[in-house]
């Protein structure tokens, strides 16, 4: 068992760092979530309250609304990014003119920090200054004011996220598509299968691991979106784009309600893990498929 011992010794530093940076903070947040701890309160010391934070959470309309908005946002961006990303990945693997240039330009948003993306889109959408409200008004007669219309604010946040993160999906799916085995595709073509049938039954089936990884990464990212939205809308108008990350930030930092914020973080983590697990189970197969 010498190999095994050597292996464990080699990964021990990484495990130690992961333990310190991942597991210890998780346990800390878990413990804090059972305390009433607000440094601005009359009693700023942590007081054990059992499950009271969670009890309050399940009736907290603002929290439940932010969860619902986050899930809606995640569904919109995830589906859009997968569809657009897959289409672009297939297109970029073909011999289309200027594909190198397009690929470079398409990948540029990935290199921009989220806070800068939010700032850029804010400049694009500020009424009286940004080109988007100006042209929407002059060409289509649409009043585009993010701080007044919740639907416009939500749609803009979704479009911004799609613009920012679709290149990542395109690149990962391109890597997956370029590694597909040629033989099954050729056999299907010789057998007279239609392109749609080949795509649905062979390409997607072989692409499943890459798709799953991409969905996981984007799902987790979308659920914790904060900085872009904070910069663009500040969570407004009202609380119409206040996703769960922003909501937790408002409770933990300006209000310094650490116990309640920890409980909210844990519920968000729980939702993320459950959704990823359900997706994994749905995509890797039920019992009949595995047997």
Partner 1 sequence: MANERNGFLPIKTNTFDRIFISVVLFIAISLFWMRFVEAYAPLWVAVLLSAVLGQWIIRKG
**Least distance between partner 1 and beta carbon 286 (Å):** 5
Number of other CB atoms surrounding residue 105 within 10 Å? 11
Q: Does 286 bind partner 1 (CB under 8 A)?
A: yes
DSSP characters over 214-246: HHHHHHHHHHT--HHHHHHTTT-STTTT--HHH
| C-beta closer to partner 1: residue 2 or 287 | 287
Contacts of 236 (CB under 8 A, 6+ apart): 146, 147, 153, 242
Which of residues 41, 51, 75, 115 is near partner 1 by CB under 8 A? 51
The first and second tokens of residue 8, run together, are 């464990």
Q: Does 287 bind partner 1 (CB under 8 A)?
A: yes
Q: Does 55 bind partner 1 (CB under 8 A)?
A: yes
Between the alpha carbon of residue 191 and those of residues 179, 187, 195, the distances in Å are 22, 6, 12
| C-beta closer to partner 1: residue 6 or 284 | 284
Which of residues 58, 96, 98, 108 is near partner 1 by CB under 8 A? 58
| C-beta closer to partner 1: residue 55 or 197 | 55
How far is residue 67's CA from residue 52's CA, in Å, rounded to a whole number? 19
| C-beta closer to partner 1: residue 30 or 82 | 30
Q: Which long-range contacts (CB under 8 A, 24 or more apart) does 65-70 make?
A: 65/239, 65/242, 66/239, 66/242, 66/243, 66/244, 66/246, 66/247, 67/244, 67/267, 67/268, 67/271, 69/154, 69/240, 69/241, 69/242, 69/243, 69/244, 70/222, 70/223, 70/225, 70/243, 70/244, 70/245
Q: Does 290 bind partner 1 (CB under 8 A)?
A: yes
How far is residue 126's CA from residue 119's CA, in Å, rounded to a whole number? 10
Give the chain's radius of gyration (CA, Å).
23
| C-beta closer to partner 1: residue 194 or 284 | 284
**Between the CA atoms of 224, 131, 109 and 120, what dihedral angle is there, to the nearest 10 degrees?**
-60
**Least distance between partner 1 and beta carbon 289 (Å):** 10
Determine which helix (DSSP H) or strand (DSSP E) holds 36, and give its type and residue range.
strand 35-36
| C-beta closer to partner 1: residue 238 or 285 | 285
* Per-residue binding letters, 59-78, with partner 1 (x by CB under 8 A): x-------------------
| C-beta closer to partner 1: residue 58 or 101 | 58
Q: List phi, psi (to 5°) of 266.
A: -65, -40
**Least distance between partner 1 and beta carbon 35 (Å):** 17
Stretch binding partner 1 (CB under 8 A), from 47-55, 81-89, 173-181, 218-226 = 47-55
Residues 244-283 that bind partner 1 (CB under 8 A): 267, 270, 273-274, 277, 281
* Per-residue binding letters, 5-44, with partner 1 (x by CB under 8 A): ----------------------------------------
| C-beta closer to partner 1: residue 205 or 278 | 278
**What residues make contact with partner 1 under the rule CB under 8 A?**
51, 54-55, 58-59, 267, 270, 273-274, 277, 281, 285-287, 290-291
């Amino acid at each position: 068992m010498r190999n095994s011992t050597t292996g464990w010794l080699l990964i021990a530093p990484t495990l130690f760092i992961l333990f310190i940076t991942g597991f210890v903070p998780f346990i800390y947040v878990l413990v804090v979530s059972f305390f009433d701890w607000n440094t601005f309160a009359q009693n700023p010391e942590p007081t054990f309250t059992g499950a009271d934070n969670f009890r309050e959470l399940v009736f907290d309309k603002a929290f439940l609304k932010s969860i619902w908005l986050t899930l809606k946002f995640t569904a919109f961006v995830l589906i859009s990014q997968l569809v657009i990303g897959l289409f672009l990945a297939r297109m970029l693997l073909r011999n289309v003119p200027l594909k190198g240039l397009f690929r470079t330009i398409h990948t540029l948003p990935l290199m921009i920090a989220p806070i800068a993306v939010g700032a850029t889109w804010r400049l694009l959408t500020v009424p009286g200054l940004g080109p988007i409200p100006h042209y929407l008004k002059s060409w289509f007669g649409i009043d585009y004011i993010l701080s007044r219309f919740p639907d416009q604010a939500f749609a803009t946040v979704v479009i911004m996220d799609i613009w920012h993160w679709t290149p990542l999906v395109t690149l990962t799916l391109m890597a997956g598509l370029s590694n597909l085995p040629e033989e099954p595709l050729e056999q299907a073509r010789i057998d007279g299968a239609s392109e749609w049938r080949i795509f649905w039954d062979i390409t997607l089936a072989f692409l499943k691991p890459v798709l799953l990884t991409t969905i996981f990464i984007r799902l987790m990212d979308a659920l914790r979106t904060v900085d872009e939205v904070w910069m663009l809308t500040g969570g407004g108008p009202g609380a119409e784009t206040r996703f769960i990350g922003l909501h937790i930030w408002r409770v933990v930092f300006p209000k310094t309600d650490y116990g309640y914020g920890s409980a909210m973080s844990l519920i968000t983590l729980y939702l993320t893990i459950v959704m990823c697990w359900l997706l994994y189970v749905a995509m890797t197969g039920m019992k009949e498929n595995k047997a």
